[in-house]
Each structure stands twice: as structure tokens, then as C-alpha cells.
Amino acid sequence: MRRSILERLEEGNVLGAEGYVFELERRGYLKAGPYVPEVVLDNPDALRELHKELLLAGADVMVAMTYYAYRDKLRVIGREGDVEKLNRKAIRIANEVAREGDALVAGDISNTWVYNPDDIEKTSRIVRKMYEEQVRLAHEEGVDFVIAETIEYVGEALIALEVIKKYNLPAMVTFGATYDRSKDGYDWIEGCKMLKENGADVVGFNCIRGPDTMLPLLKKLRKEVDGYIAAQPVPYHTTSRHKAFQFLRYKNRLAFPTELEPFLATRSEMADFASGAKKIGVNYIGICCGGAPHYVRAMAEALGRRPPASRYSPDMSRHGMLGNDPKLKNRHEKRFLKQWK
């Protein structure tokens, strides 16, 4: 029997791995812009392969690719009739791969772009119905817990939490801190406290901010909130001026979402984030949009692990020009390195 998410958090850090939508868009399996996970139905083997790569890299959780898989978003690409089929298929693929290792399966619900505090009664009903549909399907398909993520309204986050708890599932609820406060005016730490008071098992932040601009929030969160906290930043160099990656500029225009490559963090920087987050006391450590298996492997190793993919971790001692392994036959080539110094 698989240990639960809460049992694993009690034992030590849990390593998450997200960013499926960005990574599969880069691989050519879904469209930037709508970012709807149609790959689940159109190219399920591509999703299955990414899950496997993340499992081998050390991820403890296979997150079902159901982010933006709700009726209103699917309507954008004319596939609102595929909600149930897509959600069930995504969870089944995640379960299939998780059983190949010792990973958990998380259902996933996201910000809706529907919630509006100026029309709170009507939009809350719509949001609750959207979450209800997805969480019900996740429960029926047998997820271990549910992640509600990238939410920018505390009110919307509380609705997500209420729906998850209706099905007696552990809930991890994380905010996307695009601005200094939530869109409905709450301090982010205050919002996390409200979630904890209402039964959230894990609270924190995901996406939006890179390590440098997420870490200050995490330090405050750890000081002021008891219990398990989560951090899944994007692997981009956000700054004090541009705390969110949506606002980064390249060649005098917005880089988000298709010109972010100049801002990518290195694998060693994400490894440093993982070890730094552990030191702060973050319990669930992961990566979000822009993430890829090589980042996850580096983060796993920074947490003191050696996942299966570590067999292929870099070893410059065997590099033809940089290496010093005695088996190398071309050690005389090292004289050409002088021009690099």
C-alpha cells in the first residue's frame, strides 16, 4: 500500500514536478495561448513518456494533466464535450506510470478566469460547479490527493478547498503570487493562514515567481504558518522589478510565454533552490511552468537522493576535452583549453 502524502511529508520532503503544459507545448503537442491539455486525448503516449521521465528523475508525485481541463477552458478549443473523457484519461495515465515506481497521484484543479468578487454570488456558483466536476472525477478514478494551484483570489482558493474536502481528500492549495497581494486584496500569508484554518493540509505558492522572488515569501510563510508548506517556482530569473515571469521583457516586448528562454535558470540554480527551500523548512518542493526532467533530477540530487536517472547525471571527468579520466586517449587535447581561460 502506498504511503499517503501526509505520511510522506511527516517523514521528510516530497519532491513535486509540474510544468507539463509548457513542456508538452515545447515538444509540439499542444498550442501556446489556450494551453488546454488536449494532448491527453490526441497524443497520450507523449504525456505517458513525460510522466515516466519525471518518475525516473525522482518525482514523488505524478500530477494528472488536468490543469485547465474544465468545461469553460475546453470551450475555447471547441472541446467542452470532452471534459469527462479528458480528466479520466489523464488520471489513468498518471496512475499507470505511478505504479511503475513509488509515486503518488495528484488530481489537479487550477485558477478558472471566472471568479469575480464584483459578482461573487454568481461566479462562485460557476466556479464551485467547475471544481465539483473535476474533483468528483478525480475521486472516482482514485487519486491520492488534490492540488488546487495558481489561484490568485483567496475566495476562489477557499471554494476549491471546500470542494476537495467534500470528497475527504488531502488538499494542497497554492497561490500564484502575480502581484504583491491577492486580486481580492489579501496579504498572501494571510490567505495561506485562512486556508489552513479551513482545513488545507498543505499551503504555499506555485508558478508565477522564480526562485529569487518566491524565496522571500517562503521565509515569511514558514515563520507565520504551522504545518506543511509547498513551493513550486518557475525556473526563470524573475527580479525585484519583475517578480512574476509574465512581466519579463525581451527586446523591448513581453517575453511571456514564448520568448522566455533567455531567462531560464540553470539546473544547478534549481538544485540550489531545492536545498535552500529545504533549509528554510519547506516540505513540498517542486517546479512549475518551464520545468523539465533534468531540473527535477538536479533537485532530487540536491535533496540527497539518487533517482534512476542519476545514472546519466553529468560526469565531466569523461569529457573528451574537459575530462581527466585515465581511459581518455586524447588527453593531449587539453592544451587547447588554454584559449578558453
The Cα angle at residue 256 between residues 241 and 30, in degrees rounded to 5? 155
Task: Please provide residue 106's backbone torsions phi and psi, each rounded to the nearest 5 degrees.
Answer: -110, 130
Nearest alpha-carbon partner for 119 in 94, 153, 95:
153
Beta sheet of 14-15, edge-to-edge order: 14-15, 284-285, 228-232, 202-206, 171-175, 145-151, 104-110, 61-63
* Residue 324: per-residue pLDDT: 81
Question: What's the pLDDT at 198?
Answer: 98
The model's pTM: 0.95
Topology of the domain covering 13-306: TIM Barrel (3.20.20)
Give the pLDDT of the chain (341 residues) as one tens digit per residue: 789 999 999 999 999 999 999 999 999 999 999 999 999 999 999 999 999 999 999 999 999 999 999 999 999 999 999 999 999 999 999 999 999 999 999 999 999 999 999 999 999 999 999 999 999 999 999 999 999 999 999 999 999 999 999 999 999 999 999 999 999 999 999 999 999 999 999 999 999 999 999 999 999 999 999 999 999 999 999 999 999 999 999 999 999 999 999 999 999 999 999 999 999 999 999 999 999 999 999 999 999 999 999 999 998 888 877 788 888 766 555 555 555 55
| Number of other CB atoms surrounding residue 254 within 10 Å | 13
Q: What pLDDT shows up at residue 338?
A: 58
Domain extent listing, the chain: 13-306
CA dihedral of 295, 254, 207, 55, whole degrees rounded to 10? -30
Predicted pLDDT at 330 = 61
Cα dihedral across residues 69, 73, 78, 84: positive or negative: positive
